[in-house]
Amino acid sequence: MNFVVGGLAGCFSTFLLQPFDYVKVQLQVHSEMGLKKSTFASVIKHTYTNYGFFQFYRGVDSALLRQLIYTSTRVGVFYQLTDMYKSNYNRKPGLITNIGFSIICAVAGAFMANPTDLILIRMQSDMNLPPEKRRNYKNVFNALFRTVNEEGFFKLWTGAFPTVIRGVIMTTSTLVTFEEFKKLIAPYVKNDKYQSLFGSLCASLIATTVSLPFDNAKTKLQKMKKENGVYPYKGIKDAMYKTYSKEGFKSLWVGISSYYISKAPKVIITLLTIDFLRRFFGLKKIKKDKELI
């Protein structure tokens, strides 16, 4: 049930906030193209005027499939491990243990979900390419089949390293800080729901700030096409270095507003949904003194 809870929570938050993720990708692509005047508002206006409202949900099928793989794995593994720890030792895991659990589940989830992440980035950035260079995928399954057929099976794991790194950072700064902030405020706030709300707010701020540079590099690696037979980026370090040298240090955080709007509420909604569903399915038990076990 921990895996089911993770998948449901991830899909729910993703569907609600997919338009903001689309805008974030556009801003990252526009920065790479040198379109410095591109803003959150201008992307929304241009997209809606030229392509209509449903363009904001371009690639949503890939995003939802990604959540079924990624969030269900990382959340399921994390809470499965923490529940086992509580059961065996009759206490909550400490900070170091939680970090270890988060790294394990992040690596597993991010690696398994990389193909859907790759397809999502390509579908969202496709309209920025000249018509003759667009991939024009029909849906996530068509995209997966064509990528394997045209580029090879292992091409689905392009950008896997930054995806895993971002996943580790995002998961650690989300799940671990969520649990730690809840424990920090517990002596002062006895209500579990308020503890969860406070923890989710803190976790969302930390997670989005730390992970954006890696998300930026991942976007560039996953959407790139060969130029004169050579890929423009060799890997995550090369992508981040060229971003810094060509676009400036601040460009590592380009799209921070749309990224925060898309990720912070997603983190908050996901974490609160997880807490609610874990209670609903009886996965989260309460002692008489209100301490979670």
HEC string of 83-118 equals HHHHHHHCCCCCHHHHHHHHHHHHHHHHHHHHHHHH
Mean pLDDT over residues 158-164, rounded? 86
For residue 212, is pLDDT > 90? no
Q: Where does the pLDDT of residue 285 fall: very low under 50, low under 70, confident under 90, or very high at 90 and above?
A: low
Q: What backbone phi and psi angles, to 5 degrees, belong to 77?
A: -65, -45
42-51, 153-162, 254-263: least confident range: 254-263
pLDDT at 198: 87
pLDDT at 284: 65
Q: What backbone phi and psi angles, to 5 degrees, belong to 287?
A: -80, 170
For residue 169, is pLDDT > 50? yes
For residue 204, is pLDDT > 80? yes
What is the chain's percent helix, strand, coil content, to nearest 5?
80, 0, 20
Mean pLDDT over residues 204-226, rounded? 85
Cβ-contact 22, 56 below 8 angstroms? yes
For the chain, give the mean pLDDT: 85
Query: Bridge partners of 292?
Result: 286
pTM score, whole prediction: 0.67
Structure confidence by residue, pLDDT tens digits, 127-146:
888 888 899 999 999 999 99
pLDDT at 266: 76
pLDDT at 291: 40
Q: Where does the pLDDT of residue 287 fall: very low under 50, low under 70, confident under 90, or very high at 90 and above?
A: very low
Domains of the chain from N-terminus onward? 2-280 (1.50.40.10)
pLDDT at 166: 80
Please state, for a pLDDT cut of 70, what percent of the chain lies above it. Answer: 96
The three-class DSSP label of residue 285 is coil
19-33, 93-107, 129-143, 265-279: least confident range: 265-279
